[in-house]
Structure 1
Amino acid sequence: MSPKKRLVCAAVLCLCFASRGAFAQTYTPAPAPEPATSAAPGVVPMPGPAAESSAPAVRDRMPGQAPAAEASAAAAPAPASGAPSTPSAPPAKAAAAPPATAPMTGPVRNVVLVHGAFVDGSSWNGVVAKLQQKGYRVSSVQNPLTSLADDVAATRRVLARQQGPTILVGHSWGGVVITEAGANAPNVAGLVYVAAVAPDLHESTTDLLKRAAPMPAGAGITKDASGFLWLDRSKYHADFAADVPENVTRVLSAAQVPIAATAFGETVSQVAWKEKPSWYVLTTKDRAVSPDVERFMAERMGAKVVPIASSHLAPVSHAGAIADVIDRAARELSRQQ
């Protein structure tokens, strides 16, 4: 090849290498978009770029599993030296647990009544009428009496319908129900027990009744083939409601609701009277629950005791007096709000 041709070839090669180097310096591929971080349910992302705050939440993640963006970042190889690095997502901060619901404030104008065994919600009818005359919004629970859990559920359904502070009242077996149902209930301002069983934690009705000699009403209780207890109609008046007119007790005994025998052996897992102000109507002529046991329960819970010379069925025989106790309790609770 002549010297002239070699000179031309050398010049062409120099121009090619110079152009390639310039291209390499001026063209740099754009980095891949940064993967959006996402927050798992119950986790609040830390403040970050707008793109992160608008990312949808990850809803299908097992406890302890890292969010998808973090998992893929951990699995990806480290970037080569000199390559643009993607900033790591800020650590997620666990959301604080919601605060416990604070007790409601304001005047107590709601009353929920819970009946006991061998009666139904109509046993409160006289008390309901008296309280309504005083301007209260009154609800009477219809307990199925099939188990403690069933009766508590029935009571809680009624409590959930109350707008504002409520006073919860239980008669006889109903005392066990309000002891369980009233615990951790923010709208229950106080409790009233009427000749009622008021167990402590893991204590049953049978445990408490054994603290005294058997009462006369117990002899008239029989269990049927289905495991439910009934009170003998012929003994209903004398042993359960001696101060109620006999024509009324005949109707009550005919409409009595039996209670599952197993219920009396069930224990409570929560105790409302340990966290709520309580009143106790002690029936001094009771032949179903010993007045001595009633006094023991009332004093143990620190309740304000109101003795009444009544049979066990005080809501029927002394409806006005029971309504007055509930009214006084509600007024006192309202002053404390």
Structure 2
Amino acid sequence: MSLKRLLCAAILCLCFGGTVSFAQNATPNPAPAAAPITAPTPEPAAEPPVAPAAEASAPPAPPPASVAPAAPPAKAAASRPAATPMSGPVRNVVLVHGAFVDGSSWNGVVAKLQQKGYRVSSVQNPLTSLADDVAATRRVLARQQGRTILVGHSWGGVVITEAGANAPNVAGLVYVAAVAPDLHESTMDLMKRAAPMPAGQGIVKDASDFLWLDRSKYHADFAADVPENLTRVLSAAQVPIAAKAFGETVSQVAWKEKPSWYVVTTKDRAVSPEVERFMAERMGAKIVPIASSHLAPVSHAGAIADVIDRAARELSRQQ
């Protein structure tokens, strides 16, 4: 080989050797670049999200401690409004009838009160039980917007005694020749406080255990001061009452928490005037005596409307 060729070969070797050494020196540099890729792997070990995930499965025990206390207040808040009285004038009147009549027995009173500007509602009691009559009355009360005066005649007094308790929109009560029992007291309990009344002897029970008032005695013993032609209509349309109702007792007493008025019918032959006065005095009611038969809402509609009007005005002034 010539000298010239040897020099060329030597030069080529040097060039390739330099390239290889350069490549070997360059490979370490990628290693640092790879390091950032492998560096994140240790992070999952200390990854914060893992801890919360573990806590999320543990809550069943801790959270109740913080949530449980909040539940009772919610229930309490829901029950409070029911006991909170409303404010404003009394412009609503709800009338509750007694046995052996229906809501139409209040027609004369309704007309008089409407003339005075009141919004009047007359409940139609099914007279099938105390609970049913109370439910019917509460449905009507629930429709009243604003303060209301609740009025009961005869058996209707038992109904308003129960239905008017804890009713926030009931501002006061008016009893008209009505039965006003105390806690766990029934109509029969109160009637036993006096000798049997004439109307009681005209009450008959049918095969379904409902009580009716003998039509032939309706005028004389129930509505003596009502024109006979009208009592014939009333007796024909009378609604019988379940016999068990007179033995049912009240579990709440509205007159213990609401101002009350009581119309004592001094010529009553169905409920003893003496028992009426006893009930009125026991409840601390404002007593208004009227020389009327038991069916005062029919025979003395104007006078009964005036009592209700005076009661509503007085309650409105007390605001």
What TM-score, normalized by structure 2, do the two folds share?
0.82
In structure 1, how many angstroms separate the alpha carbons of the residues matched to 2:112 and 2:55?
Answer: 63
Native 8 Å contact 1:35 1:69 kept in 2: no
What secondary structure does 2:287 align onto? Answer: strand
What secondary structure does 1:189 align onto? Answer: strand
Q: How many residues align?
A: 275
Matching of residue 70 in structure 1 with residue 52 in structure 2? no
What secondary structure does 1:235 align onto? Answer: helix
The residue type paired with residue 173 of structure 1 is W
Aligned twin of 1:270: 252
Higher helix share: 2
Matching of residue 202 in structure 1 with residue 184 in structure 2? yes
Unpaired runs of 5+ residues, structure 1, are 1-15, 39-67, 75-87
- 2:284 alignment partner, one of 292, 297, 302: 302
Matching of residue 185 in structure 1 with residue 167 in structure 2? yes
Aligned twin of 1:153: 135
1:72-117 per-position Cα deviation (integer Å, ceiling 9, x unaligned): xx6xxxxxxxxxxxxx769415222206122110000000000000
In structure 2, how many angstroms separate the alpha carbons of the residues matched to 1:110 and 1:192?
Answer: 13
- 2:66 alignment partner, one of 85, 92, 116: 92
What secondary structure does 1:92 align onto? Answer: helix
1:27-54 per-position Cα deviation (integer Å, ceiling 9, x unaligned): 221231624989xxxxxxxxxxxxxxxx
Native 8 Å contact 1:37 1:89 kept in 2: no
What TM-score, normalized by structure 1, do the two folds share?
0.78
In structure 2, how many angstroms separate the alpha carbons of the residues matched to 1:36 and 1:148?
Answer: 58
- 2:264 alignment partner, one of 282, 285, 288: 282
- 2:300 alignment partner, one of 318, 321, 324: 318
The 3 A distance-change label for structure 1 pair 37 and 312 is farther
Aligned twin of 2:21: none
Aligned twin of 2:275: 293
What secondary structure does 2:87 align onto? Answer: coil
RMSD: 2.3
Unpaired runs of 5+ residues, structure 2, are 1-30
Native 8 Å contact 1:217 1:288 kept in 2: yes
- 1:129 alignment partner, one of 111, 131, 155: 111
The 3 A distance-change label for structure 1 pair 37 and 135 is farther
- 1:241 alignment partner, one of 223, 230, 235: 223
In structure 1, how many angstroms separate the alpha carbons of the residues matched to 2:54 and 2:133?
Answer: 51
Native 8 Å contact 1:179 1:271 kept in 2: yes
The 3 A distance-change label for structure 1 pair 249 and 187 is same
In structure 1, how many angstroms separate the alpha carbons of the residues matched to 2:302 and 2:278?
Answer: 25
Listed as ranges, the matches of 1:101-116 within 5 Å are 101=81, 102-116=84-98
1:156-177 per-position Cα deviation (integer Å, ceiling 9, x unaligned): 0000000000000000000000
The residue type paired with residue 289 of structure 2 is P
Matching of residue 34 in structure 1 with residue 42 in structure 2? no
Matching of residue 165 in structure 1 with residue 147 in structure 2? yes
The 3 A distance-change label for structure 1 pair 37 and 122 is farther
In structure 1, how many angstroms separate the alpha carbons of the residues matched to 2:94 and 2:55?
Answer: 50
The 3 A distance-change label for structure 1 pair 105 and 246 is same
Listed as ranges, the matches of 1:208-227 within 5 Å are 208-227=190-209
Aligned twin of 2:124: 142
Aligned residues with identical type, % of pairs: 85
Native 8 Å contact 1:170 1:193 kept in 2: yes
In structure 1, how many angstroms separate the alpha carbons of the residues matched to 2:108 and 2:88?
Answer: 27
Matching of residue 251 in structure 1 with residue 233 in structure 2? yes
In structure 2, how many angstroms separate the alpha carbons of the residues matched to 1:36 and 1:303?
Answer: 67
Highest relative contact order (Cα 8 Å, sep 6+), 1 or 2? 2
What secondary structure does 2:238 align onto? Answer: coil
1:225-264 per-position Cα deviation (integer Å, ceiling 9, x unaligned): 0000000000000000000000000000000000000000
